[in-house]
Every structure is written in structure tokens, then in C-alpha cells.
Amino acid sequence: MTGFDADSMHRLAKLALDAGEVASPEEAVALFSGYRLRIVLGRGWADTLAGQACFVTAVNTAARAFLGGVEVCGELDAMLRIPLFEGRNAATVAPELGATITAPAQGELPTLVLGGWVPATLPRFCVSLRWDGWRAWLAPGASDITPSLAHDHPLAGVAAAALGVNEAFLHIRGDMPAAGDRTVGLSLWTPLAVAGWRNDEHSGPPLRYLPDALWLVGLGHLGQAYAWTLGMLPYGAQRPHLVLQDFDKAAASNLSTCLLLDQGDLGQRKVRVVSRRLEAAGFTTAMVERRFGPDHRVLPGEPTTALFGVDNLAARRDLASAGFGMVVEAGLGSGHRDFRNIRTHTFPGPHSPAAVWPAEAGAQPAVELNDAYRQLAQERDDLCGMTQLASRAVATPFVGVLAAALVLAEVVRPLHGGGTHAVLDLQMKDLRHRTGAPLSDGPVPAGFLTAG
């Protein structure tokens, strides 16, 4: 027998088993243990909150995907100002997030660069992560360019990190021949601007207002990506009130997807772990330790804006009766081919949750086992266990945090006079494939705080 099961299997390494590349969970993890990444911190990377958000997000997401290790080198003396790590030194934060600090970059490793850096020679795969206002992107190579101080927006830093780690993963997996040789980006102000997203009109206005209260439903992969991203935003002394709702306990497999969990949190309620992390950063929280369902009602004085991160069609249909004034939810692809796909919905919109997710569409399809799973079930005399493992989604937090940046942008944008979208569809493998439906008169969060 083996220690790998549905509750312990690494959710990204699982894609090698699902794709038939390996014959066992052990082989999948061994394969991913050969994947390594380097992050170089160049001149000026920490001058903006966006740069700081990019740094911690890149390290945290990469460490959960590149199981061979993540190296960080360069300018590590900066003191962080983002709420989740306020007053902490970058050199102490990086190891806590799973990275190893090394001497100046040497050797051939896929490399992400933040800030200005001009090496003597470039690794074969090397991209610079960039941010400016509401825009986030990566470009091939390294440069002597210091990041702009104008229009500092941490959501762009989070998105840039997600795009960079994804690009490195595409390269190391051989899933995209052009990975590392292309410019990839988007504007969170105008996410449907595919061709001209780098034009000045898509930079968006300065960030001045942030939501003052939110309800986070579900604290797994997506819910913790929402919480993490909220912890990057420039809240001043007054921080928002959050209602956190989840009923589940942290399992070993969650370590590969949940950005606020570490080994010491296993077996604990996710809602309590997330509450501790956020309260340590100055947020106030209330905990709801039950499933979201048809009996849910928002009471007077509770947040009326919700970020929904539950992968359950019945629960999504119940959003309409809960009494929220604004809901933004995200769904992710779950297979080894589509796990990078992101779809968001904002309610109220032109269609109700029941119309978007009709009851007749809720039946779970039977799990089909590929040759690897059938062989494992026979060898280990555990058809039930292998079927349960096969049913689990392929998932990784570098997809989840890009979804979180898109979701938070839907909440923050209308506070600055921008619009919302009934639906957004995005394929992270190739951002040219973006579609959506803007709302002419979409919802707006009930209250706000002034950005610090």
C-alpha cells in the first residue's frame, strides 16, 4: 500500500498521472521533484507594493508547484509594507514561503526577474515580471528598467507573479513552445482588451478605494487565494471586516493548493487557520463553520459583498436567496488539459445563478479511469480509493491567484467608476483567448475604505 490517496496526493503532480505520463502517484511526485525555479530580485523591485506582492506571490505559488525547489537571490534587504507581511524582511519571508536563498544567480535554471537586472549571460528561459497601474505582464529576458512608481496597484503584482510562474511551468513541461519567448499580459481595468492592453487608457486610475467588508464563502484553493490577495492590498490603519465561511479541515493535499496553509495546520479547521493569519495582519474576522446552502441569509450588519469559492453547483444556485448585494465567484478547469481555464461571474447580472447553473446540469458524471488508474486499482486492490483519487481536480495556486486578482478587480473597479462583467472567460495558457460580457449597470460594493 502507499501513503498517496485522494487526501494526500499533490494536486498539480496529479496531472502527470491523469495524462498517462507515469504509472503511479509516486512516479508523478518524483517527476515534479525534478522541477526547479529561480527568482532574481533586481534593483527597485520593492519600491512598490505591486512589486512586493509579486515577490511573495511568486515565491509562495512556485514553491507549491516546483517541487525540486525555488531559489531566490538578489536584493533581499527590503522591509515589506503589504499588510500580510508588514514590517517583515524579505530575507526572512522567502524561506518561510518555501524558497532557498542563494548567492548571485549561477547555473542554468528557469528564471523569473523582478526589477532591474543585467546579467553577464542569460539562462535559456528568463522572463521579467512587470506591473504598471492595473496592467500586469511578462517579457522575455532581463532589463535595466526599474519598475514604475506611478499608479501602484498590488493586484497587478499578484497577476504578474501568476503569469510568470505559469510561463515557467509551461516551459519546463514543454506545453507551449513559445513560452519565455513572448510577451504575455492583461489589464485588470479592462480585462477584455486583448490587442491593445498595454495602451495608456488601460492603465486605469490610481487606487484610492477598497472594500470595507467582505464575506468569503469557501476557504479552499480559491477562497485562500482571495484571502491572500486581500492581504496584499494597501489598507491603512483601518482594515476590513471579513466573514469567513468553511466547514472543512486541512488535509495534506491542500498544501499544494492553499496559500495560507503549512504543514503545522494539517487537521485544523481551515476557517480558523485563515482567521489567525488575517487577524495577525490587522483584519477583523468572524467565522462561520458550516456549509453554505439554501438556509443561508445575510443578517443586518453583516457584509453584503461576497467572494464565492465553492466548487459546488447546488451551492452556487443558492446564491440568489442568500441576500447578498454583490457576489463575484470563480470557477476553474479541473482536468490535466484545462486546469488553467478561469471563468468568473458577477451577480446580480442578466441571468440568475439558477439560470447559469440549472439543476438538471448538476449530475456528476461517472469517473472514467485511464489505464494507469485501472492498473493501480488492480495492483493495490483498491478500486474505490483509485476512483476517488481520479475524481480529484488538478489544481495549482498560480491559477487560483490570477482568478483572485480578476475577482477582486471586479469588486474594486466599480469603486473607481469602472464597470463589472457578468462573465469573464480566460485561458491562462494563451491570453489571446478571452471573452466576456460587460454589465452596463452592475453591482457596487456597499462600503469602502480609503487606500493607505
Structure confidence at residue 361 (pLDDT): 64
CA distance 401 to 192: 18
List strand residue ranges (DSSP E) for 20-99, in order: 36-41, 69-74
> Could you give all domains of the chain from N- to C-terminal order, each with its CATH number?
34-202 (3.40.50.720), 209-450 (3.40.50.720)
Annotated catalytic residue within 73, 126, 258, 384:
384
Predicted local distance difference test score (pLDDT) of residue 2: 47
Note the pLDDT tens digit of each residue in 324-346. 999 999 999 999 999 999 999 99
What gap in Å lies between CA 312 and CA 98, rounded to an integer? Answer: 31
pLDDT above 80: residue 364: no
Cell numbers that stand for 352 in this block: 440568475
As a whole number of angstroms, the distance between CA 129 and CA 93 comes to: 20
List the Cα angle 423/429/435 in 5-degree steps. 25
Q: Count CA atoms within 13 Å of residue 431 on its CB side.
A: 27
Tell me the one-letter amino acid at 53.
A
pLDDT value, residue 390:
87
- 3-state DSSP assignment of residue 424: strand
Q: Do residues 82 and 52 touch, judged by C-beta distance below 8 A?
A: yes
Judge whether 193 and 136 are in contact, CB under 8 Å. no
For the segment 447-452, the average pLDDT, to the nearest whole number, is: 93
pLDDT digits (tens, 9 = 90+) for 87-103: 999 999 999 999 999 98
The residues that bridge with 42 in the sheet, in sequence order, are none
Residues near 448 by beta carbon (within 8 Å), at least 6 away in sequence: 209, 210, 211, 212, 415
Neighbours of 410 (CB within 10 A): 28
At residue 149, does pLDDT exceed 70? no
CA dihedral 197, 199, 204, 207 (to 10 degrees): 100
> Which of 348-362 are b and which e, b meaning 16 or more Cβ less than 10 Å from the residue's Cβ?
bbeeebeebbeeeee
Give the pLDDT score at 275.
98
Low-confidence winner among 89-93, 99-103, 211-215, 362-366 (lowest mean pLDDT)? 362-366
% residues pLDDT > 70 (the chain): 97
Which stretches within 69-208 are classed as H helix? 90-96, 154-173
258 is catalytic: no
At residue 178, the 3 state secondary structure works out as coil
